[in-house]
Structure 1
Amino acid sequence: MTSPFGPRTLDIDEARTLLPGLTVIDVRTPGEYAAGHLPGALNIPLHQLDRALPTLGRRTGEVLVVCASGARSENARRILGEHGVPALTLVGGTQGWAARGHELHRPASGGRRTWAMERQVRFTAGALVLVGLVLALLHPAWQLLSAGIAGGLVLSALTNTCGMAAVLSKLPHNRPRPADLEATLAALAQQA
């Protein structure tokens, strides 16, 4: 953990030690969450975090925010901090947690697994670049599609944000059902 004035992070060993006393919020998409999450984590996708702010604001303890690798959870930690909710982010995210050999929980429903958002972005970007190159054989203007995707990837790296991920998160398999989010918020309210 660093000072309250800088990034507040926990490494995996610290998180394992403190986990029973933290509220763990997984900000990945429901599909990613279903593929495996930290024990006791509640799913509030990053784009739905604003709906959870009133409930999270009533909490007394710190919140550990997790995602796949740490980028989305750091954005969520910053948003929570701006609203007075003390939060930490897990260095390395669920990928780092699993790489250290720690168990990930999966819902008993056995539902279809969804690709991680990073993989969805790589697939979509690659497919659009290929489509642009193939269509450029018919008309050179289609090269602009590939150039636009390349520019978007560069901008994504420079800003540490991802517009394509924001768009993909709105697809049905990446969105929580309203009842799921309401159940999560109700569980948070009971913990407060």
Structure 2
Amino acid sequence: MTTTATALTTDEAAARLDELTVIDVRTPGEYATGHLPGAHNIPLDRLGEAVPALRDAAERAGLLMVCASGNRSAQACAALAEQGIAAATLTGGTNGWVQQGLEVRRPEGADGARPVWAMERQVRLAAGSLVLTGLLAGRRWPAARLLSAGVAGGLVFSALTDTCGMARVLAKLPYNRAGATDLSATLADLKG
């Protein structure tokens, strides 16, 4: 059974925030830089572990999936729809939320933490750096151009499949895991 995901604007989500269960699918490092009030952090790469708890939470209240821009939360909604769980995505993500001047919260002790770049920005930096390295090294060692070709192929595949292997790898780096939330405690809280 599949369910169609809906999208809520920042205004719609802000008006209904008290009646929604908000799930932030960004990395713990991104989540620590600021999230919607009451949001639970379940990184996209761990969403599968959370399906039973999310099913329980969806039976009590609507689910709102959130990320930086709306791309990962749309992927989360699609994955949940495959499990028969209805969820909405926040149009524009936390970036749009902040642009509207709406409140964001940070975990305790995160105020002095160095902000983590959004995953899309990290991917652009990594991909661009690898392509440039391949091109520059290719002047001396022609085979190094294959690095640039491999990254280009990966970007095309990413666009066609709406997935990103590089983001999955980057999400495992220590600065994206900083202040990792206790997923077990989050899931227990969602089971209510």
TM-score, normalising length from structure 2?
0.90
Q: Equivalent residue of 2:64, what SS?
A: strand
Matched with 2:163 is 161
- 1:28-51 residue CA offsets vs partner (Å, 9 max, x unmatched): 000110111111100000010111
After superposition, the Cα gap between the structure-2 partners of 1:107 and 1:178, relative to the gap in structure 1 and judged at 3 Å, is closer
SS in 2 for 1:86: coil
> How far apart, CA to CA, are the structure 1 residues paired with 2:133 and 2:168?
21
Per-residue Cα deviation, 1:6-30 (whole angstroms, up to 9, x for no partner) = 4411111110111100000000000
Contact 2:3-2:82 within 8 A present in 1 as well: no
Q: How many residues align?
A: 187
| 1:64 alignment counterpart | 64
Change (3 A) 1:179 1:95: closer
Shift of 1:178: 7.2
Look up the match of 2:190. 188
Offset, 1:132: 0.8
Q: Distance in 1 between matches of 2:38 and 2:3?
A: 28
Q: Measure how far apart 1:179 and its partner are.
A: 6.1
Distance 2:9 2:99 in 1: 13
> 1:25·1:44 contact (CA, 8 Å) conserved in 2?
yes
Q: Distance in 2 between matches of 1:54 and 1:113?
A: 32
Contact 1:62 1:85 in 2 (8 A): no
Secondary structure of the corresponding residue to residue 139 of structure 2:
coil
For 2:140, what is the secondary structure of its paired residue? coil
Q: For 1:5-154, what aligned pairs fall within 5 Å after superposition?
A: 6-59=4-57, 60=59, 61-110=61-110, 111-154=113-156
How far does residue 86 in structure 1 lie from its aligned partner after superposition?
Answer: 1.9
Structure 1: gaps (5+ residues): none
SS in 1 for 2:145: helix
Deviation >3 Å, runs of 4+: 4-7, 175-179
Q: Give 3-state SS (helix, strand or coil) of 1:28's partner.
A: coil
Find the aligned partners of 2:15 and 2:137 in 1 and give their Cα distance: 54
Q: Could you tell me how far apart the structure 2 residues matched to 1:146 and 1:105 are?
A: 39
Provide, for residues 56-100 of structure 1, a one-character-per-residue CA deviation record: whole Å limited to 9, x for no partner.
112222110001111110111111122222211111111111111
Q: Which amino acid aligns with 2:41?
A: N
Q: Which structure has more RCO (C-alpha within 8 Å, separation ≥ 6)?
A: 2
State the TM-score, normalized to the length of structure 1.
Answer: 0.90
Residues 5 and 187 of structure 1: CA distance in aligned 2, closer, same or farther (over 3 Å): closer
* SS of match in other structure, 2:38: coil
Shift in Å at residue 5 of structure 1? 6.0
SS of equivalent residue, structure 1 residue 63: strand
Following the alignment from structure 2 to structure 1, what is the Cα–Cα distance between the partners of residues 189 and 28?
Answer: 16
Aligned residue type for 1:73: S
Mapped to 1, the partners of 2:133 and 2:54 lie a distance apart of 44
Judged with a 3 Å threshold, the aligned counterparts in structure 2 of structure 1 residues 98 and 177 are, in CA distance, closer, same or farther, namely closer
* d(CA) in 1 for partners of 2:177, 2:146: 30
